[in-house]
Structures are given as structure tokens and as C-alpha cells.
Amino acid sequence: MAIADETTLRVVLYEGEGAATLDAAERVSTLTTLLEKGYAVTCAGEGAVAPADDSALLVLGRFENGQAPEAEDANGKVAIRFRDIDGLDSEGITALVETERESSNAAQHGEWKPWFPVIDYDRCTNCMQCLSFCLFDVYGTDDDQGIQVQNNDNCKTNCPACSRVCPEAAIMFPKYKSGPINGDVVSDGELNREKMKIDISALLGGDVYQMLRDRSQRSRSRFSKERSSDKALGERTKCLTKLAAEADIDIPIEVLQSLPGADEIAQKAAAANARAQAVLDARQSG
Amino acid sequence: MADKPRILFCHCNYAKVVPEEVKAGVLKSLCKSGQAFEAVADLCEMAARRDPALKRLAAGEEPVKIAACYPRAVKWLFGGCQAPLNAAHTEVVNMRELSAVDAAAAMLDESVTPNLPEDGSVAAVEGEKKI
């Protein structure tokens, strides 16, 4: 199942009429544990909460006489389950919720670090640089030939490379360490800096791989008599690590190591370029 | 009462970019306050799933306060999922930049200072900017 197709179980921590109030420490520990397991929790209290939608609700509370009420949505759209948590600590509550999640087919969380590009459409000019740069088919276009993120789980964790080729600093990775890639404001200086970094695209597409090929040729002759896969891998790792450091491109070594061979990269790059060009041509003729 | 902002807290589960003590401090203050609030494990993950819950969280006429990270990122996490936040009524409290005390105070302050960026203009930044 694609990650985009999954839904979240909404948990409601109920402390209103017919239920006991949790003390603040219990509330904190219960909430923290549930959040760490990936659940969305509504804490009922004074003031408004977000309106209901059609997703399932799991209502937890310390209900009177330990008896969880039964109720149903008046419109029949929302599945509502009540569960009594009296006597359960935060771990016990989490286990209860996990059981309910499994039976509701809601998403299991924490299996994938949510690392993917977020486009700032206020800044994006649909230049398609990102589409032509990414080798992993993360980007695509919508019906109006506008850029969009289509396969976010194809994105390589901790790799911000596409944000560095964006001439408008319009691509964010909210979990990145520093701005403007993390979503911080974009200053004049940073915008110029981002524009300069477009050269990395050429570097990745050309020079780096030429250097790899040259180095590979040299090492091939060196290892020709005693070649082993371990040595070849070691050489490749050493080379990539050095290149990553020298070029200051901030692409994790794991990502560089996982790149396909130079020929396949050239093919993928050509295909991505063709896609981007086709979109630009279609927009121009439209 | 009607104008009291709704509160949304993001626990930013899957990275250590929001300091642990800030997340914990803000959550503790919200729990103590008696205010109703929504807490989500990770807005990024919800956006990645295009979780329909984002529409629920963005819906409604009330002002909204969101404890998360940078306003520009939060705006487009929602916006990219066709769940746009109302820029006129939304304040994002940045737990990456504020202390726990300041972030909690900002969340529990009933006044809302809308701070979502409204266009792509370059910010006026004085002095050395961290990279």
C-alpha cells in the first residue's frame, strides 16, 4: 500500500460528563506515549476542537462504574468506539489503542521517517528543475502541468539535494537542520546562494560521475590482479565520501552509495530531463 | 468563547529538530491548562499520507494556533494536501526557535497574531543569518 493511501486513527481523551478527570501528570504521560506511537489525540476540555470528519473515533475515558458507554453517530457515517481505561497506565492504554488500530485497519506509524520535499507554491515558478534533477521519480505534474510531489516515499531520507537545485528556494524539507531548506524565511543572500548551487546539478550529472569513472579506471588497473568485491566497494565508498565532502553537497553517503551505475544514471537523467522538457513544451504551446 | 483559538500541537515525532524539552514543556503546559486541544504525532507524516485529518484540522472559522516549526513549512504541509490554513486566522508558534516557556505562553495567549507568509516575497533579514 502506498504511504499516501493510509489513514490515521483519531483518539479522543474524554474527561467530560460521565467520566473521571485525569490529573495533569497522567494526561501528559498518556498523551506522550500515544503521540510517540504515532496517534492523533483530541484532548477534550475548555474551548473548541477541530470538527469531526468521517474517520473512525476511539474515545478513551475513565467512565463511571468502569462501564464504557455505547453510542453511534447520528448520521451513521462515523464509527465510534468507547473504551474504559480505568486502572490502565500509559503503556496499558497504548496497548489497548494498538489493538483497536489493528482491528480498524488504520495506518501503522513509525515505519517510515517522513522525509520528502514540500513545495512552497508562493515561490515556485514551475521551472521543472526539480523534475529534471530527481532520479527517483519523486516529482510529477498535475493535470495543469504544474509541478507536484507524487511519490514522496521514493525520496531518499536526509537528502536535500533537489532543494539545492531550486533557483527560487521553493523546496523545503521541514526536518532539515537549517534554513531556508527547513522552511525558515528566505533572505536575499540565501536566494543568491541557492541560485549558485544550481551548479551542483551539473556536478552530479557530469563531473562527479566522470571523476568516478576516471577513478574507477585507475583502481581497476590497480586491482586487476587481485580484484575483490570488498575492495571495489571500499574504493567506491572512499571515493564517494571524498567527493561528498569536497563538493559540500550535503547528500548522505548512504544515498550516494545507493545510486545506480553511471550508465543507468545517465539514462534516468535523460528520461527525467525529457519529462521536464515535455511539460515545459506543453505549457508553452498551451 | 467563540473567538478562543483552537489549539493544535505537533509532536514532530520522527526527527530531533524540535528540542525535546520544548516539546515536552509545551505539551505539559497544554495538559495543565484545561484547554481542549488536538495533538498529532507528526504533521509531516500526515502530509506524506495526505491524511484527510489535515482537512479537519484546517477547517472551521475559529482562529487556530499551531505549535510546530516554521510557518512557511506548516503552511505548505497543509496547502500541499488541499487543506489550506486560513492565513488571516492562523498563528504558528515555532518550537524550533522558541524556549518551552515562550512557546507555551504563546500557545495559551488567547490573542492570535497571524503569521503565515502570504506570498513569496524575500524576507528582510538583518544581520548574519544562520545557514
Question: Are A8 and B119 within 8 A, CB to CB?
Answer: no
Tell me what pLDDT residue B47 has: 93
Nearest to A212 by CA among A235, A188, A190: A235
State the pLDDT at residue A223: 44
Strands of A168-252, DSSP E: 171-172
Q: How many domains in chain B?
A: 1
Residues B44-71 have pLDDT tens digits of 999 998 888 899 899 888 899 999 999 9
**C-alpha span between A42 and B82 (Å, rounded):** 22
Q: Are A15 and A22 in contact (CB under 8 A)?
A: yes
The CA distance from A43 to B30, in Å, is 10
pLDDT at position A117, please? 97
DSSP tally for chain A: helices H, then strands E: 10, 9
Residue A7 near residue A106 (C-beta atoms within 8 A) = yes
Contact B45, A38 (CB under 8 A): yes
The stretches in chain A having pLDDT less than 50 are 1, 196-206, 209, 212, 220, 222-227
Residues A9/A97, Cβ–Cβ less than 8 Å: yes
In a domain, B125, yes or no: no
What residue in B sits closest to A177 (Cα-Cα)? B17
State the Cα–Cα distance between residues B47 and B69, nearest whole angstrom: 14
Is residue B10 a part of any domain in this protein? yes
Tell me if A118 and B52 make a contact (CB, 8 A cut-off): no
Q: Which of B11, B31, B79 sits opposite A24 (nearest CB)?
A: B31
- Whether A60 and chain B come into contact, CB under 8 Å, resolves to no
Q: Enter the ipTM.
A: 0.90
* B11-21 residue pLDDT tens: 999 888 999 99
Q: Report the residue of A3, A6, A8, A196 to disrupt the B interface, i.e. the one with the largest count of B CBs within 10 Å.
A: A8
- pLDDT value of residue B5: 93
Tell me which chain B residues have a C-beta less than 8 angstroms from the C-beta of A36: 11, 13, 41
Domain-embedded: residue B116: no
Q: Average pLDDT in the B95-117 region? A: 96
Q: Residue B21: give the domain boundaries.
A: 6-108
Beta bridge partners of A171: A119
For residue A193, the model assigns a pLDDT of 62
Buried residues in A135-159 as b, exposed as e (16+ CB within 10 A)? bbebbebeeebebebebbeebbebb
* Mean of per-residue pLDDT scores for chain B: 88
Alpha carbons A115 and B44: distance in angstroms, whole number: 8
Please name the member of B7, B80, B120 whose beta carbon is closest to the beta carbon of A123. B120
User: Residue A40's closest chain B neighbor by CA?
Assistant: B40
- H or E segment to which residue B9 belongs: strand B6-10
* CA–CA gap between residue B98 and residue B39 (Å, rounded): 19
Chain A residues close to B109, C-beta within 8 Å: none
Chain B residues touching residue A182 (CB < 8 angstroms): 17, 69-70, 73, 96
Residue of A nearest to B73 (CA): A183
Q: Where are the domains of chain A?
A: 3-104, 118-285
Q: Which of B11, B74, B78 to mutate to test the interface with A (most CBs of A within 10 A)?
A: B11
Long-range contacts of residues A270-279, Cβ cutoff 8 Å, at least 24 apart: A272/A131, A272/A132, A272/A133, A272/A134, A272/A135, A272/A137, A273/A132, A275/A131, A275/A132, A276/A128, A276/A129, A276/A131, A276/A132, A277/A128, A277/A132, A279/A128, A279/A131, A279/A141, A279/A145
Alpha-carbon distance of A207 to A8, in angstroms, equals 45
The answer to whether the Cβ–Cβ distance between B36 and A4 falls below 8 Å is: no
How far is it, in rounded angstroms, from Cα B100 to Cα A8? 28
pLDDT reported for residue A234: 61
Whether A46 and B69 lie within 8 Å, measured CB to CB: no
Residue bearing the bigger pLDDT, B127 or A286 = A286
Check residue A205 and give its pLDDT.
Answer: 47
B119, part of any domain: no
In a domain, B31, yes or no: yes
Band of the pLDDT at B43, cuts 50, 70, 90?
Answer: very high
Q: Is A123 on the interface with B (CB under 8 A)?
A: yes
Predicted local confidence at residue B129, as pLDDT: 31
What would you report as the CA-atom Rg of chain A, rounded to the nearest whole angstrom? 26
